[in-house]
Amino acid sequence: MDQEYFNKRKKKFLIQSVIWYVFLALLTYFLPEVMLFYVVCGVYDVTRNSNINGRMLYRYFFGNGVPTWALSPFNILMDVFTLPYINKKVYQLEDLPEDCQAEIKHILDVVKSENIVDELSSRVEKIKRGMIFFKWYGKNIDNFYSVPEFHKDYKYIRTIGVSVFNKKESTDEHYGPLRTTLRVLYNINDIQSRDSYIKVRATENRWCDKKMFIFDDTLSHQSFNQTDEARYCLFVDIVRPSKCHFVMNLFVQLVAVIMQKMNHIFYSSWVPLK
């Protein structure tokens, strides 16, 4: 079942990739000025990363970063729109507005009071990676496991989920699609080993040292769990701070409509827990 699911996802991703490359070829031939604009936006976008090398550039322009490149003009617009809040790339909780900090702390209190690991463990025992959503870009998702506090309306929080890596499981380097939000990660189970961590180019966060990590997930990043135990990680997407929160929230709602059709592209290597 697990392998069949991944095979279908990979086939769909391959078809969509071919369509994208055909589109790029046609755009280059018929509208070279537009293609040049996309190349300039892509170069700016990808060079926001540190430790740039050929492998990373190839992934961005020809691999799993292509959707992020396609959305680079919009992402650059988001960086401009949210000024004077400069994109820090990697954040501390204190960098966020106080009311945003309060929402995140509340969600963490809820997580600590729930038995999330016990609820999910039996369902992920035989799969490499599992993921469950409770909220997706503001829309509440009903699952076998209900946490009412996750379904409340929040000013900043738009997505709430839990990802599970089984033992000795890691991701490839990849890019998130959009910069309307920031990604907040929190390691739920206590991991003692330093072999479970997230790497955002030059920055590494070991879950045994620090359970929370906040970052711009359109940067190239990779997660590792080279331990003999599963890793359970809460992930929360928050609306980026701006002087016009109402307008920024409208952007997120617009993105939600698009992402309803595209989320399978970015989570094709995960088995949904329903």
Q: 49-73: per-residue pLDDT in tens?
A: 998 999 999 889 988 888 899 899 9
Same domain as 222, residue 131? yes
Instruction: Give the C-alpha separation, 60 to 25, whole Å.
Output: 17
Is 3 a residue whose pLDDT tops 70? no
Instruction: Give the C-alpha separation, 195 to 226, whole Å.
Output: 5
Q: What percent of the residues of the chain are helix, what percent strand, and what percent coil, each to the nearest 5?
A: 45, 20, 35
The more confident residue out of 264 and 20 is 20
Same domain as 199, residue 76? no
Q: What tokens were used for 107?
A: 């969600």
Instruction: Give the C-alpha separation, 181 to 45, whole Å.
Output: 16
Strand 169-170 relative to strand 181-187, pairing: unpaired
Proportion of the chain above pLDDT 70, given as a percent: 90
Residue 232 DSSP code: E
Mean pLDDT of the chain: 89
Same domain as 67, residue 140? no
Contact call for residues 196 and 248 (beta carbons, < 8 A): no
Contact call for residues 59 and 173 (beta carbons, < 8 A): yes
**Most confident listed range (32-36, 59-63, 242-246):** 242-246
Same domain as 96, residue 74? no
- ∠ Cα 225 212 66 (to 5°): 65
pTM as predicted: 0.88
Q: Domain boundary at 81, 112, 143, which?
A: 81
Which three-class secondary structure state does DSSP give residue 117? Answer: helix
**Which residue type occupies 199?**
K
Same domain as 35, residue 96? no
Half-sphere exposure of 267 (CA within 13 A, CB side): 20
Same domain as 260, residue 128? yes
**Which residue type occupies 67?**
P
pLDDT of residue 181: 96
pLDDT of residue 27: 76
Specify the CATH number for the domain of residue 200: 2.60.120.330
Same domain as 69, residue 178? no
Instruction: Give the C-alpha separation, 212 to 206, whole Å.
Output: 10
Instruction: Give the C-alpha separation, 161 to 59, whole Å.
Output: 26
Among the listed residues 44, 136, 72, 99, the one whose alpha carbon sits nearest the alpha carbon of residue 241: 99
Same domain as 117, residue 62? no
Return the sign of the alpha-carbon dihedral for residues 74, 130, 261, 255. Answer: negative
Question: Residue 25 sits in which domain range?
Answer: 2-81
Segment 235-239 shows an average pLDDT of 97
For the chain, the domain total comes to 2
Please, where are the H alpha helices in 164-270? 245-266
**Angle between helix 32-46 and 2-30 (nearest 10):** 130
Same domain as 72, residue 95? no
Is 264 a residue whose pLDDT tops 60? no
Q: How confident is the model at residue 5 (pLDDT cuts 50, 70, 90)?
A: very low
